[in-house]
Structure 1
Amino acid sequence: MEGSIQLAAPNDIDNPYTSALETSMMEKLDKLFPMSPSRCIYRVPHRLRSVCEKAYTPQVVSIGPLHHGKEILKAMEEHKWRYLQCFIRRNNLSLKDCIKIVRDQETSLRSCYSEAIEVQSDELISIILVDAVFIIEFLLRYSYLELRDENDCIFGPPEMISDICPDLMMLENQLPFFILEHLFSLDIYSTPFEDTDTLEDFGRPSILHLCYQFLNHSGRCIGGTFDNLKAVSEEEVQHFVDFLRKLYIAPIFESQSAGQPNQVTAPSIEELHRAGVKFKFGSTKNLFDIRFKDGILEIPKLVIWDETELVLRNLIAFEQCLCEDNYISDYVHIMDQFVNTPKDVELLVHYGIVEHMLGGGNNELSTMINSLTRMVNIYPTKFYYGTVCEDLNKFRSLLWQTRIANLRQNYFNTPWKTISFIAAVFLLILTAVQTICSIISLKP
């Protein structure tokens, strides 16, 4: 009809509301944080954090931006600034030069975190500089007594070393090693360690040497002492947790995971004991070298101290976030298979395989081990101990061996029981012979 108005179809003209939505969504897409291949510092996944929140949350000192500014951690901030002041004065440095070093690395620093750091440039540079120098000063003062200040609340009264150490081992409380190395290169203090073996072929102490010295001398190794620095120093180390993991896995023999059985379950230590398995204290320094051969289960010594749970949880979290091979996770899983009750721990302690200083005794340790693998992903096709688990299950399934073992444990575990058992069998035979003879004599 002439003069009638034609209504435009929805797609005939631009919808102003649609255009606004598109613009808004495009802005969000443009602001997405790029997932850098160099990311190595992660938030612990909620499934792990929900099991033990405290193991991943710093209680005294924040390192880096993820926990910076929390009320509980503010008391240590002023002391960190004192460490920066000492570092600058001792090395006759200008604060401007230190700031420039960090500013030049800002892009690389941001790319090391798995999430966008919503902090302005100047604030982030201040956080990183103060925290990096704090770590350097802490490690130097730990190794060199002459650098300690009598007014230092960490090494002097009230001696907060044991309070600081757990926080330094948390995945969310890390700084990339490269920024520590850049700043440490400014330090003029280069006195060799008293233990000169740790400096063989290395020359001037490095951040790796300081961390190594700290870990070895502070009793924080769960498998004896570390002696793998040379091997680890040839690899790129991302941060303190990565360094600790590399020290543990350095002596691992060639991986057994490829083509191995997809077996991830194993009998408990008590069940294996009943089945006649013998236990042997592993002589190797390789914590992961669990072997089963000819009825003997060999397990390297495991040393448990107050911070073991925290360290293992953060190593596991790091593996679950980034690593292709989950050696720590697999090790904890098979130990969880071995330990179901305090009796299992008692046997491991008896055979010298486990040494622990936990106040709650065997019950506390069994509870801790059982909780470590909750919500941890284990991959059967890559499980490091697949062959060990399969062999242990096969051995246990042999009923005759189990019965013989029970007989030995119940009747031949002492000389007197052995004599009594033999005497009882002998009397039984005599009684049977006498009965047969009596029957024969009664026949006509």
Structure 2
Amino acid sequence: MPARTKEQDPVAIRINDRLDKLRSDSSSNRGLSGVHDRLHKVNPVEPVILAVGPRFHGRRKLQEMEKQKFRYFKQLVERNINNMTGLNEYVNEIRGLEARAREFYQLDDQMASINSDDLAEILLIDGCFIVELLRKYKNRAQLRGDDPIFRLDQLRFVLRRDLILLENQLPFFVLDHLFRKTRGPGEEDHLIPLALAFLEQIMPNQKLEVVNYIGSHEVKHLLGLVHSSWGHRFVQALGETNRVSQDDVEDIWEFIESATELKEAGVELKMMKSRSNLFSIQFNKKTGVLEMPCLCIGDYTQFPLRNLLAYEQDHLQADDQPKYVGHYLAFINCLVQSPKDVQLLRQKRVIESWLGDDAAVYNMLKGVYRFVLISAGNYSYSRVCMDVNHYCKRHRDDWMTKLKIGGGFLLFLTLVQTLFTIVSCFKGN
């Protein structure tokens, strides 16, 4: 769409009117308090306080954060825009991204009803809010105390939760464009480190790392960035060492048994002490030790797992695309077949639970796992499963052999004792 340079863009006028109203608005963001209570009442796939993009835009319950978006937008543009002409320029640049944005949202039925002006405003306001939020977090030590987002830890937690919902995403190319457009002297050169620094606390006991070989143009959205960062070390290390032949995979490996059954079969479950990636599961065929990093489970662990899993199922359908979250959940599901298994894994420190009881952990894991679909041919833990099952079979075979030998020896002793008794009887007579 051609740029509008000689007249004021209607979206720029609309935004400017909102900014004027904001200047006279003296509300104190009371509507942003008590968000943790809302987490228990909201649909797991819907945002609690923040709408990003067109899917949830305009929801009544999310309007308080809309005011905060415009506050952040005002702070950002005042550093970069001095007049309406400058605001027109921003709007026109966003309009230039409209075709790509509509392609990004092509599976969203709601897109057909959103006109160009509305989409341009959504992309610009939401994108600038996210960019400003990430910058503020980087420099939070310098912030004043009147920003509700940085005054209340719970707000930042819920924002992280909302920012990684699959249906609540903005194209990363929009974020990156606005980031570069508004970057000041001496600021961070790239958006990815800022995004990961803010989002990493949503993940269970894991640090999100910057993936050097992934550029901004390869990132689909913030959830996709989290997925790439969280599992890249595991994917790199996996290679062919943990997989079996594609031709024979169905004949060679089966899923492992529950934690309780593995213990009975001689397998020792152990927490991996090194700060390894959560997905780095190892089995020692000689010692029978199955080592796993600790999984911390709290009230909201399901949110990142559900959305990363949904992202894998919906957008990473090629066999060579890593689906390590689903594979990990499938492995955990094998281990956890009852609350008793959760208890054992807690005792071994493989699971750290902040929930009320073992049944709650069991129900949470089963609730997430019901969405898992995996292909037997590219399962990340096929080698581990095969080695564990072989060890269990060998251990049981050894036990049966010893039982037979012991039984035979016992039978021999019984026969000797019987003969001795008979001989004693004859001698007595």
Same fold by TM-score, threshold 0.5 exceeded? yes
Quick one: distance in 1 between partners of 2:360 and 2:379?
A: 27
Which of residues 270, 281, 285 in structure 2 aligns to 1:290?
Answer: 281
- Measured after TM superposition, the shift of residue 258 of structure 1 is 5.7
Closer, same or farther: CA 307–401 of 1 in aligned 2, 3 Å: farther
Preserved contact between residue 257 and residue 383 of structure 1 (Cα < 8 Å)? no
Name the SS for the 1:303 alignment partner.
strand
Deviations 1:299-324 (A, max 9, x none): 23323233321111111111111102
Secondary structure, in 3 states, of the residue corresponding to 1:343? helix
Judging changes above 3 Å, is the alpha-carbon distance between structure 1 residues 144 and 75 closer, same or farther for their aligned structure 2 residues?
A: same
Rate the CA distance shift 1:258–1:135 in 2: closer, same or farther, 3 A: farther
CA RMSD of aligned residues (A): 3.1
Q: Contact 1:266–1:338 at 8 Å: present in 2 too?
A: yes
Structure 1 counterpart SS, 2:249 = coil
Partner SS for 1:249 = helix
Give the whole-Å Cα distance in 1 for the aligned partners of 2:415 and 2:352: 52
**1:287 positional shift:** 2.6
Contact 1:223 1:285 survives alignment (8 Å): no
1:138/1:258 Cα in 2 relative to 1: closer, same or farther (>3 Å)? Answer: farther
Contact (CA 8 Å) 2:336, 2:342: kept in 1 or not? yes
Q: Could you tell me which residue of structure 1 aligns to residue 129 of structure 2?
A: 134
Amino acid at match of 2:426: K
For 2:66, which of 77, 94, 116 is the aligned residue? Answer: 77
1:65 aligned residue: 54
**Paired letter, 2:386:** E
Which residue in the other structure is 2:225 paired with? 243
**Which residue of 2 is the match for residue 351 of structure 1?**
348
292, 304, 315: which one aligns with 2:297: 304
* Structure 2 match to 1:372: 368
C-alpha deviation, 1:270, in angstroms: 0.7
1:7 is aligned to none
Q: Which residue of 2 aligns with 1:268?
A: 258
Q: CA offsets per residue over residues 212-267 of structure 1, 9 Å max, x none?
A: 21134x3x333532334324448711111100110122112215376162345320
Q: TM-score, normalised by structure 2?
A: 0.75
Unaligned runs of 5+ in 2: 1-40, 404-411
Residues 325-366 of structure 1 deviation map (CA, whole Å, 9 limit, x = unaligned): 3221111111111111122122222222222322x2322111
Q: Counterpart amino acid of 2:282?
A: R
CA 405–288 in structure 1, closer or farther in 2 if over 3 Å, else same: farther
Task: Name the SS for the 2:123 alignment partner.
Answer: helix
Aligned counterparts of 2:152 and 2:309: Cα–Cα separation in 1? 34
Farther-moved stretch of structure 1 (236-245 vs 160-169): 160-169
* Superposition deviation, residue 292 in structure 1: 2.6
| Structure 2 residue matching 1:230: 3-state secondary structure | coil
Q: Which residue of 2 aligns with 1:254?
A: 239
Counterparts of 2:146 and 2:366, CA distance in 1: 43
The separation in 1 between residues aligned to 2:186 and 2:358, in whole angstroms, is: 44
Q: Is residue 2:334 matched to residue 1:342?
A: no
Deviations 1:175-223 (A, max 9, x none): 111111111113344657xxxxxxxxxxx3421011121134x3x3335
Q: 1:167 to 1:390 in 2, by over 3 A?
A: same
Q: Which amino acid aligns with 2:208?
A: F
- The answer to whether the 8 Å contact 1:315/1:328 transfers is yes
Deviates most, 225-234 or 288-297: 225-234
1:215 counterpart = 2:210: no
Matches within 5 A, 1:391-402: 391-398=387-394, 399-401=396-398
User: Which position in structure 2 is the counterpart of 1:16?
Assistant: none
Structure 2 distance, partners of 1:281, 1:122, is 54
1:217-236 alignment, distance < 5 Å: 218=201, 220-222=202-204, 224-233=206-215, 236=218
Q: How much does 1:387 deviate?
A: 2.9
Aligned pairs for 1:132-211 (under 5 A) are 132-146=127-141, 148-156=143-151, 160-189=155-184, 204-211=188-195
Question: CA separation in 2, counterparts of 1:387 and 1:310?
Answer: 29
1:277 aligns with 2:272: no
- Structure 2 residue matching 1:229: 3-state secondary structure: coil
SS of structure 1 residue aligned to 2:370: coil
Gaps of 5+ in 1: 1-51, 193-203, 407-428
Q: Percent identity?
A: 30
- Matching of residue 320 in structure 1 with residue 303 in structure 2: no
- Residue aligning to 2:94: 102
C-alpha contact 1:316 1:329 (8 A) present in aligned 2: yes
Deviation (angstroms), 1:389: 2.5
Measured in 2, the distance between the counterparts of 1:126 and 1:210 equals 24
Q: Distance in 2 between matches of 1:140 and 1:331?
A: 33
- 2: CA distance, partners of 1:234 / 1:160: 27
Task: In structure 1, give the amino acid aligned to 2:372.
Answer: V
What does residue 122 of structure 1 align with?
117
Which digits, 9 at most, give the CA deviation of each residue in 1:43-97, with x for residues without a partner? xxxxxxxxx9822111111000011011221221111111100111133453222
Measured in 2, the distance between the counterparts of 1:234 and 1:109 equals 16
Q: Which moved more, 1:86-95 or 1:335-344?
A: 86-95
In structure 1, the partner of 2:24 is none
Q: Secondary structure at the match of 1:99?
A: helix
- Out of 125-134 and 90-99, give the one that drifted further: 90-99
Secondary structure of 1:292's match? strand
| TM-score (normalizing by structure 1) | 0.72
Rounded to whole Å, the distance in 2 between the matches of 1:152 and 1:228 is 28
Is residue 177–residue 239 contact of structure 1 (8 Å, CA) maintained in 2? Answer: yes
- 1:91 matched to 2:80? The reply is yes
Query: Residue 147 of structure 1: CA displacement?
Result: 5.4
Which residue type is aligned with residue 192 of structure 2?
L
1:172 partner SS = coil
Structure with the largest fraction of helix: 2
Query: 8 Å contact 2:211–2:228 — kept in the other structure?
Result: no
Aligned length: 358
For the 8 Å contact 2:51–2:168, the answer to whether it is kept is yes
- Tell me the distance in 2 between the aligned counterparts of 1:371 and 1:144: 38
